Amino acid sequence: MSAVNDTSFNSAVFLLTGIPGQEDVHLWISIPFCLMYVISIVGNSVILFIIKTDPSLHEPMYIFLSMLAVTDIGISIATIPTILGIFLFNSREISFDACLAQLFFIHLLQCIESSVLLLMAFDRFVAICNPLRYASILTLLRIAKMGLVCVLRGVAVIIPLPLLLKRFRYCRANVLSYSYCLHQDIMLACSDITVNSIYGLSGSLLINGLDSLLIFLSYVMIIKTVLSVASPAECLRALNTCVSHLCVVLIFYTPEISLTVIHRFGNSSSHLLPILLGYIYLLVPPLLNPVMYSVKSKHLRARIIRVFIK
């Protein structure tokens, strides 16, 4: 009987959730979601096109920005089917294997984005603290190696998550809290989830905790270097190059850390706040990242305007 139950429950179907209590207006809610997806994909695609076609933008800062744009497009594509499926067609069911696949790609892309933000902080650190060796330190080959390390690190940390979930037996109503699959939301099994909980927390600390700490330390060194410059105008000019990256870092880490804290220590009776944070966590960074860099970078903004004028 146990073997039969294991087989039937491990081929379970999960039920995704939109916004509880707002099912009657899901079709209207889908309109801003569709707009956000269109703006995110088009905006990041334009950034990639401009950087690829303009040789003057083949610099480390813009190469890292193109990595960020690719990651943001991937996150949007990974969440589009289920989120729009719920709000447009009320399609709530998702198979166990499809849920694990979506979980893997969402968490993997989030890990890669965290790593890219760290690389961008390193780029600003080298540009401000050691400008004479900037070109020799951040060569194209070295940037490619760093990007490959980011991907391999994310795969190594995330791939155990679906494998650990695969061994569970699910015997309760498999109703998820979000319109997509997350590791912390799928731990609904009747089995002991201690290993998953510890590994999930450890992986989050290893990726996001370590990356955010290193980003913080890089900016401490940047501020220390900038304050040693005699001219206030030069200080402002140097810090102005970091504004876009700081905004992107805050947009990425604030909802993610808040969501992690709520899942670990929050009151489970209130579901609306984590649901809203979950949408912000996945939809807002891909939407605002290209806007932040287009507004602050004069070179990028000028080329985007030139393309649309043509």
What is the pTM assigned to this prediction? 0.89
pLDDT of residue 173: 63
CB 71, CB 154: distance < 8 Å: no
Q: What angle do CA 180, 181, 187 make, to 5 degrees?
A: 145
CATH topology for 2-309 is Rhopdopsin 7-helix transmembrane proteins (1.20.1070)
Sketch the domain layout of the chain as residue ranges.
2-309
List the chain pLDDT tens, one digit each, 310 residues. 343 344 444 557 888 888 877 778 888 888 999 999 999 999 999 999 988 888 888 889 899 999 999 999 999 999 998 999 898 888 888 888 888 999 999 999 999 999 999 999 999 999 888 888 888 899 999 999 999 999 999 999 999 988 888 877 776 667 888 889 888 777 766 666 778 778 888 888 888 889 999 999 999 998 888 888 757 777 777 777 788 888 889 999 988 888 777 766 665 555 777 888 888 888 999 998 888 888 777 778 788 777 777 6
